[in-house]
Structure 1
Amino acid sequence: MSLYVGFTGAPLDRAEPARHDPAMLAALAANPAALLLDMTDFVPGVADGALAWTPLTPLPAEELLLLGLIDNIPRFARIDPGAVAAKRTPELMALLDSLAAGEAGVYATARSVLDWHARHRFCANCGARTAPHHAGWARLCPVCSTEHYPRTDPVVIMLAEFEDRVLIGRQASFAPGRYSALAGFVEVGESIEEAVARELHEEAGVVATSVRYIASQPWPFPSQLMIACIASVADDVVTLDLAELEDAKWVSRAEVAASLAAEPDAVFGAPPRYAIANSLFNAWLGEI
């Protein structure tokens, strides 16, 4: 049985050559079957677990983001020149939890790129205002000709393991009772393994002795690559960094299984299914 990871499995043919061929892009946009993602303020229209699409009406080229092809039908999203940076709300997250796996992946792609446009309107090289370029997959500076591309920030998310238990933690912003895996950004000059070891030691005081990779996930809030790992640690003595975590505790396989099953007497609330922390718990249980 394969591991479920939220926001993956998008059925997009990204049609990368069309990003660099204005004639090909124009032909895709002129296709009578072309569709536009139904999305307002970064919130998608959803019906029966699927994203809603509307017929593509003529838009200026600089407002078109080519997502790609699904079933050979061109799919676009609109780059709103007046959009502000996206916000994440509980209502949006509940809506995303209802999406089928591939549908959530399409939304993650659109949201990440559109949010990047809203946040990066000016050239980092000379400060001039930039314009969408390459079918929405870049921005071009008209003054110094620098091309800017959407960035993805790598984040390690990991379970520390000791004697068949794993360490979980919670931040004050979490829903009451919810715990998750520990996580942190990969810093410049670090490998994945080094970032896992550093974050575990900084946040919980535990020392990693080995690290194994499990899976990755595009996380569109705003645009990160979550890199899920399990780390064996030297002991179970926790020294908590209260600036990062409100609490942390060791839990057994039975306790993790009960939480994933949402049993009434579970010792913690598990992360939602679309979060890779949920996948990480399932992967650890599957290693028996």
Structure 2
Amino acid sequence: MPPRPPNTLAGPYLERAAHRRKDEALLQAALANPETLFVPVWETRSSILRRGELLTAHFVTGIQALPGVDPRELVWLGEFRGQAVFAVGLSGERPQLTDPTVDFQDLRMIAGALPPEEAGLLAYARAMIHWRDTHRFCGRCGSPTQPSESGHVLRCSNEACRSQQFPRIDPAVIVLVTDGERALLGRQASWPPGRYSTIAGFVEPGESLEDAVVREVHEETGVGVESVDYHSSQPWPFPSSLMLGFTAYANRTDILRVDDELEDVRWWTRADIANGAVALPITHSISFRLVEDWYDSGATRPLREEPGVRLWQLPRR
């Protein structure tokens, strides 16, 4: 069986070169290099270049193109396509761009339309800038924090405290529950009509991933599950999640919502999905990947080749 390809936003898209984060001389040389790349992030939005229907990441080349940016606020990401690359957070009003083909867009919606390695890099940059922007003060004493190790550590400026903060992620489980012939999908009240997705929720302290799967499915649907198996993972920096994908088999199929997080939960057959009775998640999400793998395991035609399949509406590529 061939290895499963990585999910969107995952994979070996970057040499992180973590050993360089503490090497001040190497970092200064990278900043002085006019070929060094910078990934702009403005209000969590990524800088995107559109040429016709083709989307690519827009990079700023050379720090001289970023007047007024404090080098201490840059975040070293690593080496991308042979060049040093930093993330740079832009604040204030929307940046005025002279190139009409460049705009700041929501990466969550367009990641699947970008080259995979660029989507992963933009996600990394977005996650790091978000973490830095939301941890500007010490959680212990309230003093301002100061970046160090090329933006990968935030240290308290209070000499009596000097606590350190490191980039954080929030682990969340996401699961495709099946009884063999049907898949369990739910929807939130805020979603447009017809949209459904797999069951998901955050892992709680003192809880294993498998226990979190069982709990979340029970809380949101009332369904009991067994045979919880790991599938794959996906970075999901919206704002800071790591999605841990699972499949599970239902040993009790009656739906009884314990909480009100979901507006509706239903069992869907492959025929329902093929006929467009339900709108599936965006194709670059792990949720779609879980549904797709289950669907393809018991269908004569792959999900992506079914003409009647309905997906969440996204901007055209």
TM-score (norm 1): 0.89
Deviation per residue, 1:174-214 (Å, 9 max, x gap): 22211000111111111111000011111111111220111
State the partner residue of 2:315.
Answer: none
State the partner residue of 2:56.
Answer: 50
CA RMSD of aligned residues (A): 2.1
1:105-124 matches, within 5 Å, as 105-124=120-139
Tell me the secondary structure at the aligned position of residue 27 of structure 2. Answer: helix
Tell me the secondary structure at the aligned position of residue 222 of structure 1. Answer: coil
Tell me the secondary structure at the aligned position of residue 198 of structure 1. Answer: helix
How far off its partner does 1:38 sit? Answer: 3.7
Q: Tell whether the 8 Å contact from 1:154 to 1:226 is kept in structure 2 after alignment.
A: yes
Deviation per residue, 1:39-64 (Å, 9 max, x gap): 43332222333201112225433111
1:159 aligns with 2:176: yes
Deviation per residue, 1:84-141 (Å, 9 max, x gap): xxxxx99654433421222111111010110111111111122110012211112111
Q: How many residues align?
A: 276
State the partner residue of 2:233.
Answer: 216
State the partner residue of 1:28.
Answer: 30
1:270 aligns with 2:286: no
Q: Tell whether the 8 Å contact from 1:193 to 1:211 is kept in structure 2 after alignment.
A: yes
How far off its partner does 1:82 sit? Answer: 6.7
The equivalent position to 2:88 in structure 1, one of 72, 78, 83, is 78
Whole-Å separation in 1 of the counterparts to 2:9 and 2:192: 21
State the partner residue of 1:262.
Answer: none
State the partner residue of 2:270.
Answer: 253
The equivalent position to 2:163 in structure 1, one of 142, 146, 152, is 146
Tell me the secondary structure at the aligned position of residue 126 of structure 2. Answer: helix
State the partner residue of 1:14.
Answer: 16
Which amino acid is 1:49 matched to?
L
State the partner residue of 2:309.
Answer: none
User: In the superposition, relative to structure 1, how do residues 91 and 43 fare at CA in structure 2: closer, same or farther (>3 Å)?
Assistant: closer
Whole-Å separation in 1 of the counterparts to 2:105 and 2:266: 26
The equivalent position to 1:61 in structure 2, one of 71, 75, 87, is 71
Tell me the secondary structure at the aligned position of residue 234 of structure 1. Answer: strand
Q: Which runs of no fewer than 5 residues in structure 2 stay unpaired?
A: 94-103, 299-317
TM-score (norm 2): 0.81
Which amino acid is 2:11 matched to?
G
Q: Tell whether the 8 Å contact from 2:245 to 2:290 is kept in structure 1 after alignment.
A: yes
Q: Tell whether the 8 Å contact from 1:7 to 1:108 is kept in structure 2 after alignment.
A: yes
After TM superposition, the structure 1 stretch with the greater mean CA deviation from structure 2, 36-45 or 103-112, is 36-45
Q: Which runs of no fewer than 5 residues in structure 1 stay unpaired?
A: 84-88, 259-264
How far off its partner does 1:4 sit? Answer: 5.4
Same amino acid, percent of matched pairs: 37
The equivalent position to 1:232 in structure 2, one of 246, 249, 256, is 249
Which amino acid is 1:285 matched to?
Y
Whole-Å separation in 1 of the counterparts to 2:285 and 2:180: 25
User: In the superposition, relative to structure 1, how do residues 224 and 203 fare at CA in structure 2: closer, same or farther (>3 Å)?
Assistant: same
Tell me the secondary structure at the aligned position of residue 25 of structure 1. Answer: helix
Q: Tell whether the 8 Å contact from 1:214 to 1:229 is kept in structure 2 after alignment.
A: yes
Whole-Å separation in 1 of the counterparts to 2:19 and 2:239: 26
